[in-house]
A and B are shown apart, each in its own frame.
Chain A
Amino acid sequence: MKLFWFETFKTFSRWRTYISFTVIALIVIITEVVMKLSAGEIVYRMLRPFQKDFFITGNILNAWFVTAFIMNGLHIHIPFLITLVAGDMVSGEATSGTIRFLLIRPPSRGRIITAKYLTALFYTSAIVTFFALVCVSLGLPLFGSGDLVIHHYGKFDMSFIPESEVPARIVLAFIAAIWSMTVVASIAFLFSTLAENSIGPIIGTMAVVIVFLVLGNFPLNFFRTLKPYLFTTHMMNLWQQFLVVPIPWQEILRSAIILGLHNAGLFLIAFFIFKRKDIKS
């Protein structure tokens, strides 16, 4: 535990750790201000499939909708920000030449790698939590509260979540998002144990995420068959399922288990690689 706090302190002492928090704050602020200024256009585009058939009243463009909207960007910008730190956890030590110094101290390699991995997970949780706090704390004064209307663009397809249920679902969605993002952290962490500098793990992780996302979104039967086996599918599905009516708990559990297994597998590989790592040469 002491080792974990030591690693956390080390991570949060670096200024580069705060780049992610600053970027997230900027993304959310810019998005929410632009959404506020183009509220009419957004509501028109969003409700176009329904406007022909329905009179629509109420505050649809509310903080919860804006939060869910920005959360959809999770699969690109948050993974990148996570890799900045998770991809540097072990390789950073090699780059700065402190790895030998670290490993001659009493704690075992196993304890060191576990503490570093937990720190990467802690950082992932911190960044997603910060993202949630900025979204909601800025969104509520700008857009107010209301029922959450989720619809699939261009389709006559809509889920309606009453205002009383929305905060709990958003909290659950963000917890799920943390769980999803830990897989990205695990991949970056594994690559970090393999590399001697941080650029490789960052680019490598992003390449994996982007390739899997692209494969999962090709509208061809071969890729559709492949989609359920890609971690990116579960990474996105997990949090989105909390905004489905009714909540598909079975699917959530399945995705959570699959992502958990990915985490365990990736960590174990990183663990054994680090245990056998030759630091003498």
Chain B
Amino acid sequence: MKKILLFLLLLLILPHWVQAQEEASRYLETIEKKYAGLKDYTAEVTVHFNIETFKTPDMQAKLYYKAPDKIKIESKRTFFFPKEGGYFNPSLFKKEDFETKLMERSASDGKQAVKLKLTPKKTKKGIQHFLLLIDAERILIREMEVIQFDGREVKAVIEYGKFDGFELPSHIQLILDIPSFETEGPKDFDQLIQQPKRVTGSIDITYSNYKVNSGLRDEMFENPKKGK
């Protein structure tokens, strides 16, 4: 009797679960389709660091992106640009690369939003999972949290503007919570006897002067040092 009840329960739950999974994947698919026409973009970026242990003035650079995953930063001066969440890459979330789970639906300021948990099928760059908050009406990633195996947590809050027909980030705020010490390599005696501290803070990235689909060539993304 118990087995039958359990079977009936599964029959009731399973369709909803499968449906939720499909719905979650559908959001990723819609985003991919929305930006299918975005081949490349160039933008000027200004980075403002608000981290106690990272004392730098605002930095400017030119950022080049080419789909699916090419990125180049050009600056005459020393420039630090956040890797996770710092730039917009619509090709990052291909539905076939992730186990997708619909976490919750919410509504704020009359806007429908969904929260997805994306677990990479193949572990790369030490990423455990992503949490995406997607504006369900405009099909935009509003927030992205990256949780890594080594305890790094980065949350990106993205504001968009319309540039050459595409909705692209005008401002990204990254909220960091990362370990202070290196996880590899030799450590000072001090580091061994103390509890590892965490670095928290935020980075504001402002995007301007977008040029979209200007036909960036692959060669410009090659690292000249690698060829030698």
A163 to B75, CA, bound (A): 14
Interface string of B188-206 (1 = CB under 8 A from A): 1111010000010000000
Check: B162 CB closer than 8 A to any chain A CB.
no
A56 / chain B contacts, CB cutoff of 8 Å: 78-81
Complex-state Cα separation, A156 to B110, whole angstroms: 41
A156 touches B152 (CB 8 A): no
- Flag if A154 contacts B81 (CB, 8 Å): no
**Whose C-beta in chain B lies nearest to the C-beta of A54?**
B80
Do residues A146 and B80 form an inter-chain contact, with CB atoms below 8 A?
no
Q: A55-B81, A58-B75, A219-B189 are in contact. Are A156 and B180 (CB under 8 A)?
A: yes
By secondary structure, the A interface counts as loop
- Among A27-35, A44-52, A257-265, which stretch is in contact with chain B? A44-52
Q: Which one of A57, A155, A158 lies within 8 Å of B55 (CB-CB)? A: A158
Does chain A have a CB within 8 A of B53? yes
Partner of A57, one of B79, B178, B185, B186: B79
Taking a contact as CB atoms closer than 8 A, the residue among B78, B188, B190, B191 that contacts A60 in the complex is B78
Q: Are B193 and A57 neighbours in the complex by a CB distance under 8 Å?
A: no
Contacts of A53 in B (CB 8 A): 82-84, 152, 154, 176, 178
How far is A147 from B61 in the complex, measured between Cα atoms in Å?
15
- B182 CB within 8 Å of chain A: yes
Q: How far is the CA of A52 from the CA of B150 in the complex (A)?
A: 11
8 Å CB interface, B49-108 against A: 53-57, 61, 71, 73-84, 86
Contact A49 B56 (CB under 8 A): no
Whether A278 sits at the interface, judged by CB under 8 Å, is: no
Interface presence of A41 (CB below 8 A): no
Do the beta carbons of A156 and B53 come within 8 Å of each other? yes
Report yes or no: B78 in contact with A149, Cβ–Cβ below 8 A: yes
B3 within 8 A of A: no
Give chain A nearest CB distance to B155 CB in angstroms: 13
Interface membership of A162, Cβ < 8 A: yes
B-contacting residues, A147-176, CB 8 Å: 147, 149, 153-160, 162-163
**Quick check: B182 and A48 within 8 Å, CB to CB?**
yes
A245 located at the interface, meaning its Cβ lies under 8 Å from any Cβ of chain B in the complex:
yes
CB-contact partner of B83 in A48, A54, A158, under 8 A: A54
Closest 7 CB pairs of A and B: A58-B78, A160-B56, A245-B55, A147-B78, A157-B53, A55-B81, A54-B80
Given contacts A53-B154, A58-B77, A160-B78, 14 further A-B contacts (CB under 8 A): A49-B181, A53-B82, A53-B84, A57-B74, A57-B79, A146-B77, A154-B182, A154-B188, A156-B54, A156-B180, A157-B53, A159-B55, A219-B189, A219-B193
19 pairs from A and B in contact (CB 8 Å cutoff): A48-B184, A48-B185, A49-B181, A53-B176, A54-B81, A55-B81, A57-B75, A57-B79, A58-B76, A58-B78, A59-B78, A60-B78, A147-B78, A154-B191, A155-B181, A156-B178, A157-B53, A159-B56, A163-B77
